[in-house]
Amino acid sequence: MLFKCLPPGGEIPGRFPGPVHARGKWFTIDIHCHVRSDKAAAMVEGNAAVSRWFLETAASEHSRAINARTANGRASRAPPRAADRGYGPDGIDIQAISPAPRQTYYGADPDLGHETSRAVNDFIAEICGRYPDRFVGLGTVPFQAPDLAIAELDRVRKSLGFRGIEIMTHVAGEDLSADRFRKIFARAEELGLVVFMHPDGFTEAARFVNHYFANVIGNPLDSTVALHHLIFGGVLRDYPNLKLVVAHGGGFLPAYSGRIDHAAAARPDCCEQLHRMPTTYLKRVYSTRSSTPITSSTISSTSMAPTTS
């Protein structure tokens, strides 16, 4: 199943309303496009602890009902629009397709997490194989089991030909800066894989129940917290060539990046894992809504690009 935030025929905000430019004038890649594997979903059916999604559990019953109706409207088993031989009205040349966020299944036991990861990755590889000039794959790995994750990293790169992976903003509530995850980032850097980080729902969302704040505020906040941990926890220091892309504009951090430099300069407990000012590491990070690294100086209405979710 393919999901897109934009309704069929909807106008993309910020896109010049003129005709699509001829191929060669520019090349547009949509890195934020999710697909759902029915096979992987069946493997965890009835196991609420495994399929738990913080975004859903934090939302009100009304919001969950709306989500269910919306999902039914978006889901389509037809070939994805970007697979058409000609340009679509959105002007996208290639889509990098990644798992639906809840299908990372970080809450599963290691063996089940590994099996579902393989099922999802094989599904994405099948789509890419059918339309190789339209899609590239971003896979998933069982982060909760680092050794198995490294094995799957090697498989998706060397056997399936994927260009990267999608990761969540935490591993069933555990921060990505934990020592046991370092070997995964090291291998991703070594393989030259893009790491696309997508929020999994804020884990402390007691005040976000109404108005779908679990998504409206919670998702970018979750990305914000995760990006802070990757910077202040030394992950981006240790892996300077890691290709990190953060969904939804990088969360809230780009809008107040000066605050992290002030904190590091003012407090020794804020710079225990840093060799440089925090924004030095932030400049290496990209987001799905900006064509340049996400520092406050680059955020403007002209730098924003449409994204799907």
pLDDT tens for 79-134 read 455 455 444 556 778 889 999 988 999 999 999 999 999 999 999 999 999 999 88
Write the pLDDT tens digit of every residue in 252-270: 888 888 899 988 888 988 8
Q: What's the CA gap between 140 and 132, in Å, rounded?
A: 19
Terminal Cα-to-Cα distance of the chain (whole angstroms) = 13
Q: Which two tokens stand for residue 96?
A: 């990098």
pLDDT at 1: 39
Write down the pTM of the prediction. 0.80
Separation between Cα atoms, residue 229 and residue 253, nearest integer Å = 12
Report the candidate in 255, 241, 247, 256 with the shortest Cα–Cα distance to residue 226.
247
Confidence (pLDDT) at 62? 66
pLDDT the model gives residue 29: 83
- For residues 77 and 43, the model is more confident at 43
In whole angstroms, what is the distance from residue 14 CA to residue 300 CA?
Answer: 12
User: What token pair was written down for 288?
Assistant: 């799905």
Averaged over 224-231, what is the pLDDT? 95
The residue ranking higher by pLDDT, 116 or 214, is 116
> What are the backbone angles phi and psi of residue 31, rounded to the nearest 5°?
-90, -5
Q: CA-CA distance, 274 to 229, in Å (whole number)?
A: 12
**For residues 189 and 195, what is the distance between their CA atoms, to the nearest angstrom?**
9
Q: How confident is the model at residue 66 (pLDDT cuts 50, 70, 90)?
A: low
Predicted local distance difference test score (pLDDT) of residue 256: 84
Mean pLDDT of 155-172: 95
Question: Residue 68 — pLDDT band, cuts 50, 70, 90?
Answer: low
pLDDT at 166 over 70: yes
In whole numbers, what is the pLDDT of the chain averaged over residues?
79
Residue matched to tokens 């050794």: 147
In sequence order, what are the residues at sequence separation of 6 or more whose Cβ sits closer than 8 angstroms to the Cβ of residue 242?
185, 188, 189, 195, 235, 236, 284
d(CA 38, CA 290): 32
The domains of the chain, with CATH numbers, are 2-6+24-303 (3.20.20.140)
How far is residue 93's CA from residue 84's CA, in Å, rounded to a whole number?
A: 10
Report the share of the chain in percent with pLDDT over 70: 72
Residue 74 confidence (pLDDT) above 80:
no
Q: What is the pLDDT of residue 270?
A: 86
Question: Looking at residue 204, what is its pLDDT?
Answer: 80
Per-residue pLDDT band for 246 (boundaries 50, 70, 90) equals: very high
**Residue 93: closest CA among 30, 10, 142:** 30
Q: For residue range 272-306, what is the model confidence (pLDDT) as tens digits?
A: 888 899 999 898 998 876 444 555 443 322 233 33
- Residue 211 is predicted with a pLDDT of 86
**Distance, CA of 263 to CA of 268 (rounded, Å):** 9
Q: Is the pLDDT reported for residue 240 higher than 50?
A: yes
Alpha helix segments (H runs only) across the chain: 38-43, 48-51, 54-58, 61-74, 110-130, 146-158, 182-191, 213-216, 218-232, 235-238, 258-266, 278-282
Question: What tokens does 112 get?
Answer: 């089940």
The total number of residues shown for the chain amounts to 309
pLDDT in tens, 14-56: 444 444 445 545 677 888 889 999 999 999 988 876 766 665 6
pLDDT digits (tens, 9 = 90+) for 190-201: 999 999 999 987
